[in-house]
Structure 1
Amino acid sequence: MRTPTIARHGRLKKSNPFATITRFLAAALAVLMVSGASVAAIAAYDLAASVKPGVELVGDDTPVSIPKIGAWEGGLNLLLVGSDSRKGQDPAFGEDDTGDLNDVTMLLHVSADHSSATVVSFPRDMYVPIPSCPDPEDEDNPYPSMSYQKINTTLSYGGLPCTVLTVEELTGLDIRFAAEVQFSGVIAMSNAVGGVPVCVGARIEDEYTGIFLDPGEHTLMGVDALQFLRTRHGVGDGSDLTRIGNQQVFLSSLMRTIKSADTLSDPAKLYSLAKAALSNVVLSTQLQNVDNMVAIAMALKDIPLEQINFVQYPTGSVDGGVEPNVEAADALLAALATDQPIQLGGATGGTLPDPNAPVDPNATIDASAVDADGAVVPDAVTDPAAPGATVLPSDILGQSAGQYTCSDGRTLDDQ
């Protein structure tokens, strides 16, 4: 039995959150059915040739039966991780001395009736039990389990299968699909979608990532999109938790962009997005199957923006990081396990209401929340709850893709 060794964090300047990728990947897969049969037929060979070698998860030898044409039947779970490895990346991002930490770990859950989807972000510094994980180079000598380690060490400890096993143990959900992305993937896919408009509510200043943004709307792509997602010092209170909120600002806008007519009616843009995803993302073996990709995309494509929720896994502070808030997490996981629509307790830190957000006529508005000019105060407006929605505890934070929010920036004077 070997003694486990855990990779240490790199310097903060090299941290790498990739919250964008869950939605980028879903959009990329959708190209095969929204761009028309002819485009799909022409692109099929090129897309297949773009796929990187797959990673076999524990249980991947179990056959999966899906329709050749049509949406995935029932619910599904897909894990997306962002690696901080510099292997094969531009030297501008630093030398490859940081190990291979999953600084972003996100779980996409789609309900069995395909009426809602939830993306749960697990804070990188959250202490969790890590189960025994297989060693791909030595099947007879698996890595031993550990009772209390940060979740972002799982990728360096036992690879993508280990991260999947850890999240399965934490949530009780069965995860059949997984993917891993690095810096280049975010850059390529933000370019393919043509940029993402984000609202900055207070100035962002971050010398570590080199991003400086004034209040207002900015359309971000390429390296700028990557650095916006990486910034921690420049938003909220400078913690990884408020960085998750900043990423949710981007994710929500990304979903609105992808679902807009400008994207869905442009086969060339959709094809570019699909190829960028497949060329830059390492997929588990069952996710590499084109039939599976199409089925998953078709399960996602008709879900309303208001029922696509981005959630921060609830935690409490401990020395050196955070640990799960078990009571709140149980409420969230029970709703996911039973496919109940959810109503979140509030917005994640690091965000501000967008003063220019359109008001949904079906939204709930506090009658007393009107300013002196008769205008509705933005944060008094909430999305209409789905019928039978489970109202989650107030400390389960996040937002839907239908909510317009801004990044709560942080200047150098406050750091």
Structure 2
Amino acid sequence: MSDQLRPRTNRAQHLSTIARHGRLKRSNAFATIAKFLAGTLAVLLVSGASVAAIAGMNVVASAKPGVHLANEKALGEIPQIGAIDGGVNMLIIGSDSRAGQDPSFGGEDETGDLNDVTMLLHISQDHSNASVISFPRDMFVPIPECPLPDGDTSSAMSRQKINTTLSYGGMACTVLTVEALTGLSIPFAAEVQFSGVMAMSTAVGGVPVCVAERIEDEYTGTFLDPGVHSLQGVDALQFLRTRHGVGDGSDLTRINNQQVFMSSLVRQIKSANTLSDPLKVYSLAKAATSNMQLSESLNNVSTLASIAMALKDINLDEITFVQVPTGSTEGGVLPVQPAFDDMFAAIAADQPIALAGTLGRGATLDPNAPVAETPAAQAPAEGAADPAAPVAPQKTVISDRATGQTAGEFTCSVGRTLDNQ
């Protein structure tokens, strides 16, 4: 195995050699969860003032008890209507658990509890940009010791797939694993199940999704012709779950496909049609808190509202969806070095990032995308430039092995027919 593809150990030297190999619950390919960051952003991008004013105690009453994270920090009094101070790191976890869900989402194994979705939302200190970073479910990583709900501690493991962390130690263990992997502190986290994306896609009145080539997937029952489709409820869920019907059939191209959905959802959320509709704002907040398990640090409307205020004015072109750079190995993928470390060094330094790579094999640019109007440039007054004009920070260009897009890019899913499967 190439040294370039070996997992890092410098931030996780405390991890022991594999201490145990507990028998994990079997993952079912037919029940793989959607990348639920879409749903989470749907809540966070709404107007914080509206969430606080409209949702109120009714939303809080629908929330589940919070989960305590090892590195939670005391935030003090959260402003009722105002952006949270400084930057934000928040982990969004999509669970494949079918507990309490519609039986039709099951399969051979209806007791799975794997984090088939692991995404990090980073908001910059000055609230000028945000990054949404996807970790492939089959990426091998070291897993640290994790506190268990019964007060015991799980053993450290030197090499397991990242989607097993939820089974080993719950949400807190997934957060600790990503912290050790990236060197970042992550004080906020949310876990979402199947019903979450259904409720939130319905709350916004459907998400318009462009399909470039026909999608055919017998496993999720997803069959879509080329064109634009407004997806909500079960249709949205199955679109996000489809793997066989997009790209090359891999989980990596499924992430590309889901970034098509997420970018469209963000545009939908930030549109006046959503933010000016109190019922939609309320429905989004209610759908999130009743379908998500939140960390204690995130489990109140005021905190959600303050994060929303930090996000709501970020330009679409400054919201970047990116899949971490990985390379193939037997049975999964590994972080590519030094590209992986360099990417998170930039995030830790709060530097805005730019993509050097492509959209990935699961997505393509929409040839019918609206053309943005370029405002006419105003001639500066005779003499020097305006000293008050803001200077945009220089972006760090990350490896071309990291695929993705911005929320401002209109993209289409690249379908895959049954004949090619």
TM-score if structure 2 supplies the norm length?
Answer: 0.88
1:248-327 to structure 2, matched below 5 A, reads 248-327=259-338
Give the alignment partner of residue 80 of structure 1, picking from 63, 88, 92.
92
Match of residue 110 from structure 2: 97
User: Do 1:66 and 1:72's aligned partners in 2 also have CA atoms closer than 8 Å?
Assistant: no
Match of residue 199 from structure 2: 188
Letter aligned with residue 394 of structure 2: G
Deviations 1:286-327 (A, max 9, x none): 100332212111111111000000000110000000011121
Match of residue 220 from structure 2: 209
User: Do 2:122 and 2:130's aligned partners in 1 also have CA atoms closer than 8 Å?
Assistant: yes
Describe the shift of the 1:30–1:410 C-alpha distance in structure 2 as closer, same or farther (beyond 3 A).
closer
Question: Are residue 126 (structure 1) and residue 123 (structure 2) matched?
Answer: no
Describe the shift of the 1:286–1:320 C-alpha distance in structure 2 as closer, same or farther (beyond 3 A).
same
Question: Are residue 393 (structure 1) and residue 399 (structure 2) matched?
Answer: yes
Describe the shift of the 1:352–1:26 C-alpha distance in structure 2 as closer, same or farther (beyond 3 A).
closer
Deviations 1:269-292 (A, max 9, x none): 110111011111110111003322
**Residues in 1 aligned to 2:52 and 2:77: alpha-carbon distance in whole angstroms:** 19
Letter aligned with residue 359 of structure 1: V
Letter aligned with residue 79 of structure 1: L
> Unmatched 5+ residue regions in structure 1?
364-384
Task: Report which stretch shifted further, 95-104 or 316-325.
Answer: 95-104
Give the alignment partner of residue 57 of structure 1, picking from 45, 69, 72.
69
Deviations 1:46-89 (A, max 9, x none): 111111121111133x4223542421111110000110011000
> Unmatched 5+ residue regions in structure 2?
1-17, 376-390
Match of residue 381 from structure 2: none
Deviations 1:81-108 (A, max 9, x none): 1100110001111255342000010000
Aligned to 1:360, the other structure's residue is in SS state coil
**Residues in 2 aligned to 1:169 and 1:122: alpha-carbon distance in whole angstroms:** 14
**Residues in 2 aligned to 1:396 and 1:169: alpha-carbon distance in whole angstroms:** 20
**Residues in 1 aligned to 2:328 and 2:55: alpha-carbon distance in whole angstroms:** 48
**Residues in 2 aligned to 1:104 and 1:162: alpha-carbon distance in whole angstroms:** 14
Residue 389 of structure 1 deviates from its aligned partner by 1.2
Give the alignment partner of residue 208 of structure 2, picking from 197, 200, 220.
197
User: Do 2:48 and 2:304's aligned partners in 1 also have CA atoms closer than 8 Å?
Assistant: no
User: Do 2:27 and 2:114's aligned partners in 1 also have CA atoms closer than 8 Å?
Assistant: no
1:376-391 to structure 2, matched below 5 A, reads 387-391=393-397
**Residues in 2 aligned to 1:392 and 1:29: alpha-carbon distance in whole angstroms:** 26
Match of residue 37 from structure 2: 22
Match of residue 142 from structure 1: 153
User: Do 1:67 and 1:295's aligned partners in 2 also have CA atoms closer than 8 Å?
Assistant: yes
Aligned to 2:237, the other structure's residue is in SS state helix
Give the alignment partner of residue 120 of structure 2, picking from 86, 95, 107.
107
Aligned to 2:71, the other structure's residue is in SS state coil
Match of residue 332 from structure 1: 343
Aligned to 1:396, the other structure's residue is in SS state coil
1:235-250 to structure 2, matched below 5 A, reads 235-250=246-261
Match of residue 378 from structure 1: none
Residue 30 of structure 1 deviates from its aligned partner by 5.1
User: Do 2:47 and 2:312's aligned partners in 1 also have CA atoms closer than 8 Å?
Assistant: no
Match of residue 176 from structure 1: 187
Describe the shift of the 1:268–1:243 C-alpha distance in structure 2 as closer, same or farther (beyond 3 A).
same
**Residues in 2 aligned to 1:284 and 1:262: alpha-carbon distance in whole angstroms:** 30
Residue 239 of structure 1 deviates from its aligned partner by 0.2
Describe the shift of the 1:298–1:42 C-alpha distance in structure 2 as closer, same or farther (beyond 3 A).
closer
Residue 28 of structure 1 deviates from its aligned partner by 2.0
User: Do 1:31 and 1:267's aligned partners in 2 also have CA atoms closer than 8 Å?
Assistant: no
Aligned to 1:326, the other structure's residue is in SS state coil
Match of residue 381 from structure 1: none
Aligned to 2:359, the other structure's residue is in SS state coil
User: Do 2:118 and 2:134's aligned partners in 1 also have CA atoms closer than 8 Å?
Assistant: yes
User: Do 2:140 and 2:161's aligned partners in 1 also have CA atoms closer than 8 Å?
Assistant: yes
Residue 348 of structure 1 deviates from its aligned partner by 2.2
**Residues in 1 aligned to 2:145 and 2:319: alpha-carbon distance in whole angstroms:** 33
Match of residue 30 from structure 2: 13
Describe the shift of the 1:165–1:413 C-alpha distance in structure 2 as closer, same or farther (beyond 3 A).
same
Describe the shift of the 1:352–1:29 C-alpha distance in structure 2 as closer, same or farther (beyond 3 A).
closer
Letter aligned with residue 341 of structure 2: D
TM-score if structure 1 supplies the norm length?
Answer: 0.89
Letter aligned with residue 271 of structure 1: Y
**Residues in 2 aligned to 1:398 and 1:87: alpha-carbon distance in whole angstroms:** 32
Letter aligned with residue 211 of structure 1: T
User: Do 1:353 and 1:405's aligned partners in 2 also have CA atoms closer than 8 Å?
Assistant: yes
Residue 332 of structure 1 deviates from its aligned partner by 1.2
Residue 136 of structure 1 deviates from its aligned partner by 1.1
Question: Are residue 359 (structure 1) and residue 359 (structure 2) matched?
Answer: no
Number of residue pairs matched by the alignment: 386
Residue 2 of structure 1 deviates from its aligned partner by 8.0
User: Do 1:6 and 1:153's aligned partners in 2 also have CA atoms closer than 8 Å?
Assistant: no
Identity %, equivalent residues: 62
RMSD: 2.0
Describe the shift of the 1:405–1:29 C-alpha distance in structure 2 as closer, same or farther (beyond 3 A).
closer
Describe the shift of the 1:94–1:67 C-alpha distance in structure 2 as closer, same or farther (beyond 3 A).
closer
Match of residue 406 from structure 1: 412
**Residues in 1 aligned to 2:110 and 2:56: alpha-carbon distance in whole angstroms:** 37
